[in-house]
Amino acid sequence: MTETPGFDRSQELAKASLAAGSPTDWFEQLYDAAAHGEVEIPWDRGGPHPLLSEWFAQYPEEATGSGRTAVVPGAGPGHDAELLASLGFRTTAFDISHTAIDRITAAHPSSTVDYRVANLFDLPEEWRGAFDLVVEAMTVQSMPRDVRTRATAAVRSLVAPGGVLLVIGGVLPPEPDPDYGPPWRLTRAEIEAFGTDDLALERVVHDTEGIRYRAVFRRRAA
Ligand SMILES: C[S@@+](CC[C@H](N)C(=O)[O-])C[C@H]1O[C@@H](n2cnc3c(N)ncnc32)[C@H](O)[C@@H]1O
């Protein structure tokens, strides 16, 4: 989330939402305002995340989706999910905002993606360990640090045996303003915390500007 159109409005809504005790109500408010043409979604870059496209370009064996499942927690504008589906992954994508999901399905009426309204903190049991590829792009960092451990565990829970988890986000500045956020960018320790004994961190790479990272985790096969 950089200072793009819609950034100030997202900050105002987030602060009000947090003051009222909810880390997530502001997402629906922001998408609703966008649906009424009042604001732009600050994280909508009009296409898939470059670090996701780059992953598939660099590792073509990872881009074969046929016979594999994928999920995007916090689908947002849906570009990443549409890319996964175009590669043949049987793709699920969910968002806490019903207006976000309505906007995606209106934009992609023939999509093969199974778009759902769902909360990362209350996932359907059948999604546990069900996905060969999990693409977490900026959703955990969009929620405050006091829910980070739960959010991290929920994302991790989606990865199937032998599956891959990509965590994509913005690099935390060396001296972050403690009052700054959203986004609440992850520390290196918070990135590593997605890993467990059977979900190993393989590598963290940065974009050429050094402002975004992609961390790759792989779960041991059953
Ligand atoms: C910063 S945006 C990133 C969207 C998308 N992943 C991307 O890269 O463009 C975070 C998204 O996560 C959604 N979100 C936030 N908290 C959520 C939760 N608890 N469960 C599901 N979705 C959530 C928001 O509505 C928003 O669409």
Give pLDDT tens digits for 114-162.
999 999 999 999 999 999 999 999 999 999 999 999 999 999 999 999 9
CA-wise closest residue to 171 among 143, 202, 211, 134: 211
Nearest protein Cα to ligand 1, atom 10: 139
pLDDT (0 to 100) of residue 178: 66
pLDDT (0 to 100) of residue 5: 63
Longest dimension (CA), the chain: 49
Task: Give the atom of ligand 1 at the shortest distance from the alpha carbon of 139.
Answer: 10
Q: What is the dihedral of CA 89, 93, 99, 102, to 10 degrees?
A: 30
pLDDT (0 to 100) of residue 2: 46
Task: Give the atom of ligand 1 at the shortest distance from the alpha carbon of 27.
Answer: 25
> Which H/E stretch holds residue 56?
helix 50-58
For 75, residues 6+ apart whose C-beta sits below 8 A from its C-beta are: 81, 93, 94, 95, 100, 101, 104, 115
Give pLDDT tens digits for 27-49.
999 999 999 999 999 999 999 99
Q: What is the dihedral of CA 50, 66, 68, 195, to 10 degrees?
A: -30
pLDDT (0 to 100) of residue 1: 46
Q: Is any ligand 1 atom within 6 A of the Cβ of residue 95?
A: yes
Give pLDDT tens digits for 74-95.
999 999 999 999 999 999 999 9
Confidence of residue 175 (pLDDT cuts 50, 70, 90): confident
Question: Which domains are delineated in the chain?
Answer: 46-219 (3.40.50.150)
Residue 166 has pLDDT above 80, yes or no: yes
Task: Give the atom of ligand 1 at the shortest distance from the alpha carbon of 135.
Answer: 6
Nearest protein Cα to ligand 1, atom 17: 96
Task: Give the atom of ligand 1 at the shortest distance from the alpha carbon of 120.
Answer: 20
Residue 4 has pLDDT above 70, yes or no: no
Distances in Å between the Cα of 180 and the Cα atoms of 15, 17, 88, 202 are: 10, 15, 39, 30
Confidence of residue 173 (pLDDT cuts 50, 70, 90): confident
Q: Which of 27, 39, 140 to mutate to test the pocket of ligand 1 (most atoms within 8 A of CB)?
A: 27
